[in-house]
Amino acid sequence: MSPAFDGSIHEVFSALSYGATLVLPASGDRLGHLKLVDVAILTPSVASQLQPADFPRLQKLYLVGEPVPQRVCDAWAAEKQVINMYGPTEATCGATIARLDVGKPVTIGKPNPSTRVYILDHRLRLAPMGMIGEVWLAGVQVARGYLNQKELSSERFLDDSVCVSLGEQMYRTGDRGYWDENGDLVYCGRRDRQIKLRGFRLDLDDLEARILVCCLGNATVAITLCDDVEELVCMVQTTAMSAHQVRQRLQHCLPPYAVPRHIVVVERLPTTAAGKVDYKAIARTRTADREEALAETLDLQTSSTDQRLARLWRKMIGDRGRLSVTVTPRSRILDLGGDSALQLRILSAINEEFGVQLSWRALAELDLSQMAREIDNKSGELQPSPRLDKSQLSSAEEYHWQRYQIDPTSATFNLGFACDFDLVSVDRDRLVSAWNAVLQHHEMFRCRYVPDANGNPRRILGSRPQQVADILDEPLEAERLMNTPFDLERDSPIRVVISRKGMVVVCHHISCDYTTFTLLIGDVMRAYDAMGTLQDSVSNASITSYLSATSWHPNVSASMVAFWNDALRGVPQIQPPLAGAATGLQNRTSYQGSATMLQATKSTSDRVEEVMKAYGVSGQQLALAAATVALAVLDENCDSFDVVIGVPFANRRSPEDGRVAAGVFLEPVPLRLAFPSGHHVSSVDSQSPLLGKVQSALWGAVTNAMPWEQLLRNLGICSTNLGHDHALFDCVVSFHDWRTGAESVYGKMAGIGMSPQFLWSSNGSKFKLMIELIVVDDGLLVRLEYDEACYPSPTPSHIQRLFLHALDVIATSPSASFEQLRHEGLRAWTPETLGTSGATLPCPNILSLCRGRADSDSSCLEGS
């Protein structure tokens, strides 16, 4: 080894201490001396470039300095004795050691006698077996710190917090790992190899492993961030493929945001003097592919679609502060720094510039040249934009009409909002005027829904707008209002009641979703500020705005149909969330149900907030991952787990759709998460973070989203034959952020003396099981809505507490795999352990946003 590498100390002194002969390389032949020795120490990068058969005398090989790829282990262990050694310089070279065998997963073994190894979470607590944490080393061999670097020393070298009585130090390695069932340490990469790119969380070590699988194992892969821009560069050591072929494979194997911007194929990866992969050299590399190099000189003066599109991209991304934006034919919006908000603005600009109707999915997935061809093919085809007829229901309205037809007497699909106030701070008459102005402005709230002669629903627009029920001194009776069903053939789908002390707003889901609710309340607050009249800043309100929404005319391509056929292959029409013999399998006979709500502990809430900020993980992704673990722990089939979960899809596909404040857009999207039995799981999947799998699956589902009934037709499913049961899934997981910050409409309400609250029907359940993760000012809430006939007590309580426990563990170890999380859930599966996960709230159908808790004593409920 090079004297620059601390491993040379081990090499020199182990040889001299045991009477061996130390053989040095001959001048000009760096590796020739390996044919003369019995034992050698190499980095895996060097070993991967050599053939074991070329060294017949070599008996034992020590691999050090880098993670050992499974293929390197298998190649060498088939002919030699292979030892894996781990240990940073700060802990004197060797900390752990493991014998590697063919076909057995690589570990870094057990600690040496003088070493203590701790796996700690981010709060420096010991992580349980199977949970990924940070590797800390302790013992007499730990250094005292870095020379003349006090700040760095104090960050990396701490007093031993586990074996306090020894008075020794422990060293933060920055590596991640976990203890397997045999007590061996499994290495999971560097902490600093987890990045946030364009809003997506990526683990570069995991991405390298996935790219290796995409290349069928015929390569060595290294990936890192470029030096000067936020772009991935991937270097592939192979002779079997070109850079273009590698890119084509990756575009089929990886979600678009994970495909590296730069791909370079080389005969040999660059290495440092110590024989490790030189990531710094790779970070300075740019694509060497000739076609991409020529593309850097795009002539933006010509008038072809490519150049017009490139100019538009440059302008809009440059306006976001990127002073120099290089656009090539292979550039994609995600590569150039476009987040989802910017994507919507660019999409609107493209459609206006070229007179086409590109989908959000096309914008996210197509590179510039592909998009230009798509625009040329569509040019002139989609003008003017199609719109629904005034009597024609949107796909979202049809979805809720079908559920209304099954049980018109149910109030389950009512959405409720309330607030109490005092007349000193709130002008009640002005509030009534504001509501009446908004209700007159929003035509959708005049609609009635009636069947025609063939039983098909149609929309009728009433001539008179709905008015506020001004009851002044009468009791408000919020609970009665919330649990009163709508007669959609005769009634307006909204009721607003204002008393002296408060206000209640109830909408049927056929005309409203929570996004609509927020926009609607925003319009009311603007009208209130304007002394009860509407201003130009009010949101799109005419029924034409809703009927013309791009959401009702998505471009459903053959590839989207193929995606769903593949994703849902083998899923029955009704997919129970649990395969247990006694839970979830009974068919529903009504929309009756119950609810329960838990408030998470402050420590769990804080951890979730931290991981969302640090890793760019959304609340919806965390909720889906936690629900998957909770359901898997309760599932009786321990060998494998396969679940389809419903995800609410906002379905507002353009900036214009996002401003429509009346009408329902929300539709469900099925998300399948399948985990085969252990012996079928590849080493990549078994060690891949569950959050990454959820994020990738959610991306695929949302970018291929299509109208619900169209999806069912493509799958050959007739939903009208299912009764109260739901097609494909009967478990829904949703996330709401209802904090009352200064920019929030609910925060502005609180600022003028109103106390906003959300309401739910007290005797219904929209699905067999619905899990809602809610963020409020005081922390996290978990609300469960369930059909008691399908989930008898105590199963709902178990699900809820397992969900909170899983959420806490995921927030503590965001890189944990599904198997690790399920193992931890099974280990903790006792009423005593889970009983501390949160506090049950007394009223699960009322949520006061200002106080962040359910409250049954609100003055809004007077007379209930």
Give tens-digit pLDDT for 197-207: 765 778 888 88
At 571-596, the pLDDT tens digits run 877 666 654 434 555 788 899 999 99
Q: Which CATH class is domain 194-295?
A: alpha beta
From the CB of residue 796, how many other CB atoms can be counted at a distance below 10 Å? 22
Check whether 211 has a pLDDT greater than 50. Answer: yes
From the CB of residue 762, how many other CB atoms can be counted at a distance below 10 Å? 17
Give the per-residue pLDDT at 38: 94
Q: What is residue 485's DSSP assignment? A: P
C-alpha span between 619 and 818 (Å, rounded): 18
User: Quick one: average pLDDT of 323-342?
Assistant: 64
Give the per-residue pLDDT at 254: 83
Name the more confident of 319 and 491.
Answer: 491
Confidence of residue 340 (pLDDT cuts 50, 70, 90): low
And the tokens for 504? 């209640």
User: Quick one: average pLDDT of 815-833?
Assistant: 78
φ/ψ of residue 828, rounded to 5: -90, 5
CB 411 within 8 A of CB 482: yes
178: nearest Cα among 802, 819, 625: 819
Residue type, 233: V
The answer to whether domain 6-190 has CATH 3.90.230.10 is: no
Check whether 734 has a pLDDT greater than 90. Answer: yes
At 32-58, the pLDDT tens digits run 889 999 999 998 988 988 999 999 999
628: nearest Cα among 838, 774, 823, 818: 818
* Topology (CATH level 3) of domain 582-738+762-841: Chloramphenicol Acetyltransferase (3.30.559)
- Of 609-623, 641-655, 666-680, which gets the smallest average pLDDT? 666-680
Residue type, 771: I
Give the per-residue pLDDT at 291: 41
List b or e across 579-598, with b for residues whose CB sees 16 or more CB atoms inside 10 angstroms: beeebbeeebebbbbbbbbb
C-alpha span between 342 and 817 (Å, rounded): 32
Check whether 386 has a pLDDT greater than 50. Answer: yes
User: Quick one: average pLDDT of 236-242?
Assistant: 84
Check whether 854 has a pLDDT greater than 50. Answer: no
Confidence of residue 381 (pLDDT cuts 50, 70, 90): low
Query: Helices H, strands E: what count in the chain?
Result: 27, 30
CA-angle at 684, arms to 84 and 362, nearest 5°:
145
Kindly give the interhelix angle for 340-354 and 305-318, rounded to the nearest 10 degrees.
140
CA 612 to chain centre: 10
Specify the pTM. 0.74
Domain spans, the chain? 6-190, 194-295, 301-378, 582-738+762-841
Look up the CATH architecture of domain 301-378. Orthogonal Bundle (1.10)
CA-angle at 374, arms to 708 and 368, nearest 5°:
110
Give the per-residue pLDDT at 837: 61
Strand order in the sheet with 494-499: 469-472, 494-499, 502-508, 414-420, 755-759, 846-848
417: nearest Cα among 781, 863, 860: 860
And the tokens for 192? 């600093």
**Residue 672, strand partner residues:** 644
Q: Is the dihedral of CA 382, 384, 390, 394 positive or negative?
A: positive
Confidence of residue 292 (pLDDT cuts 50, 70, 90): very low
C-alpha span between 177 and 87 (Å, rounded): 13
From the CB of residue 109, how many other CB atoms can be counted at a distance below 10 Å? 23
List b or e across 407-435, with b for residues whose CB sees 16 or more CB atoms inside 10 angstroms: beebbbbbbbbbbbbeeeebebebbbbbb
Give the per-residue pLDDT at 617: 80
CB 169 within 8 A of CB 139: no
C-alpha span between 507 and 400 (Å, rounded): 13
Q: How many CA atoms lie within 13 A of 243 on its CB side?
A: 20
CB 166 within 8 A of CB 848: no
Same fold, 6-190 and 301-378: no
Q: In terms of DSSP bridges, do strands 494-499 and 469-472 run parallel, antiparallel, or are they unpaired?
A: parallel
DSSP H or E stretch at residue 212:
helix 204-214
